[in-house]
Structure 1
Amino acid sequence: MKTLAGVSAEGRGATDRLLAAVVAQLQVEGIRVAGALRAPLTEGATSHCNSDLHLLPDGPMVRITQELGAGSTACRMDAGALELAVGLATARLASEGAELVVLNKFGLSEAEGRGFRALIAEALSQGVPVLIGVSDAHRAAFSEFAQDLSTTLRPDEDTILAWCRAVISRAAPPVREA
C-alpha cells in the first residue's frame, strides 16, 4: 500500500473541510498527526484572500498571506511566513514524531520545488505516511513529484479514514513484549 495519498474535493474550501474532519476524527482516536491545515475563515473576516495555516496538532496559527494594499494584483503569498510554517512543522515532526502527516495542499510553492516538499520527503523517509490536498491546478506537478509513489483517494471521509488507519498500522513499529 502506498504511503503518500492525494485527495481533491469539488468546491471552494471543500478539500480543507474534508481534511479537517479527517484529522479531527483521527485525533479523537489518539493518532499523532503533524503537518498543516488551512484554518477556516472566521466570522467577520475582512478578506476571503487571507490564508492562515494551523500547524498540527495544536498550533500555532501562521498567516501565510500579506496585505498589499487596495488595488494590488500581485501575489499575496508571504514566502517568508510559509517557510516559517514549514520550518515549525518540520521541527515538530523531528522532535515529537507523528503517525501521519497531513497537509492542506500541494500548491504553487510545492510545484516550484519549495514549500512543504522537504517535509513530505522527510516524513516518507521516516516511514510516516502523508495525506495531502491536491488541486486541479497543481495535479500534474504533484504527479511528477510523487512519481508512482502516491495514490489518489476519493473525496469521501470514510475512504480517507480507512486509508489512514491502514497505512498507520502498517507503518507502526512492532510492539516488543518484555
Structure 2
Amino acid sequence: MFNNTSVLLLSFRYSKNLVIILFIHQLNNRDQDNNDVNIMIIAINFVNTKVRYRFMKADNINLATIIHTGEGEYDGLLRDFVEELKADGVNVQGLLTKHYKNPMIIYDISSNQEIVISQALGKNSTSCCLDLGKLAGAAFVLRKALEEKPDLVIINRFGTAEAEGGGFIEELQALIGEDIPVLTLTADKYLGAWQTFTGGLAEEVAPNKEALHAWFNKVRG
C-alpha cells in the first residue's frame, strides 16, 4: 500500500483542537515527473470529540486574504469587487463591513441585512468594543452559504476572535472543507495566527481589483 509513498506528519494545538497534518507524497510509476502531493488535515475537537478531515491538493486550496493594517482601508475595495462580480452574475454570499467602528456594522451580502457586532463602552474606553455574542449570531449567514455552496464566500475579517480560535473560525473551516472559495481580510498583527491556521496554504492577494479578479478566475476554473 505504501510503495512509492512518503508521509510527513505535523501536529499542533490550535484553540481547543489538536490539528494533525499529513503530507502524503505519491510517486506516479508511469511518469516520475508527475507526482501527487496530497494533504490530509485532521482536526480533533476536545470539547465535542468531533473529528474532521479532508484531502486536498497543496496547490488547490481555495482560500485567500488581503493583508491590511487593521484600520479598515480595504473594506471599500471588497465591496466594489463584490458588486462587480454580482453584476456579472456570480453568486457571492457572506459578510462585508459597512462601518468599521463606533459602531461596528457588517451586512449580509445576499439580503443587505445589517448586523451590529459592537457594544457601547464609553468614549474614553480603550478596550475592544467587539461583542462576541453578536458576532456569533452573524454566523448564520456563513452557515447558509455552506448549505447553498455559492461561487464565492466573503468573510469580512479574520480578526481578533478568529485569531484566538473563535468568531467565524468553525464556519471558515467548514467552507474550506467543502472547497468553496473564500476571501477575507487579515490585519498584519494577526498574520502569524492566520498562517498558523492555514498552514501557509492560503494565498495573499494584492489589494487591487485586478489581483482579486485574477485569483477568483483561477479558483473558479
Same fold (TM over 0.5): yes
1:105 aligns with 2:157: yes
Q: Going by fraction, where is helix more abundant, 1 or 2?
A: 1
Moved over 4 A (4+): none
Residue of 89, 99, 110 corresponding to 1:57: 110
Match of 1:135 in 2: 187
**Higher RCO (CA 8 Å, separation ≥ 6 residues):** 1
Shift of residue 159, structure 1, vs aligned partner? 0.9
Q: Deviations over 1:26-63 (max 9, x none)?
A: 1111111122110147xxxxxx4311011222231110
Once residues 181 and 69 of structure 2 are traced to their aligned partners in structure 1, the CA distance between those partners, rounded to angstroms, is 24
1:156 aligns with 2:208: yes
Q: Deviations over 1:80-105 (max 9, x none)?
A: 1000011x223321443311111122
User: Whose Rg is larger?
Assistant: 2
Match of 1:122 in 2: 174
Unpaired segments of 5 or more residues in structure 2? 1-59
* Helix, strand or coil at the partner of 1:49: coil
* Helix, strand or coil at the partner of 1:164: helix
TM-score (norm 2): 0.68
Contact 1:3 1:149 in 2 (8 A): no
Identity %: 29
TM-score (norm 1): 0.83
Q: Going by fraction, where is strand more abundant, 1 or 2?
A: 2
Once residues 220 and 184 of structure 2 are traced to their aligned partners in structure 1, the CA distance between those partners, rounded to angstroms, is 15
RMSD between aligned alpha carbons? 1.9
Q: What code does the residue aligned with 2:120 have? A: E
Shift of residue 10, structure 1, vs aligned partner? 6.2
Match of 2:87 in 1: 28
